[in-house]
């Protein structure tokens, strides 16, 4: 459990806060569920795990909707 909390703290610092992390995870999980390709190789099929690893690997970032 402590490892998961540590990872979430790391991700919060990386993306700039809990709100931004939540928004990024929600958006990427929706994309993965809709069939978007993975950007990292991990054993898990869980879209949450995949999205977390993509953030840790600096493969995705939150972009403002007006900048898309």
Q: Which residues contact 23 (CB under 8 A, 6 or more apart)?
A: 62
- How many angstroms separate the CA atoms of 18 and 46, rounded? 21
Residue spans per domain, the chain: 2-67
Q: What is the pLDDT of residue 62?
A: 85
pLDDT in tens, the chain (68 residues): 678 789 889 999 999 999 999 999 999 999 999 999 999 999 999 999 999 999 999 999 888 776 65
DSSP letters spanning 23-60: HHHHHHHHHHHTTPPPSS--S---HHHHHHHHHHTT--
Query: Do 60 and 24 form a contact (C-beta atoms < 8 A)?
Result: yes
pLDDT at 68: 57
């Amino acid at each position: 459990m402590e490892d998961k909390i540590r990872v979430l703290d790391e991700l919060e610092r990386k993306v700039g806060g809990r709100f931004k992390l939540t928004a990024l995870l929600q958006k990427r999980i929706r994309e993965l569920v809709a069939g978007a390709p993975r950007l990292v190789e991990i054993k898990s099929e869980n879209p949450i795990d995949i999205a977390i690893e993509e953030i840790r690997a600096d493969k995705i970032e939150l972009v403002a909707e007006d900048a898309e």
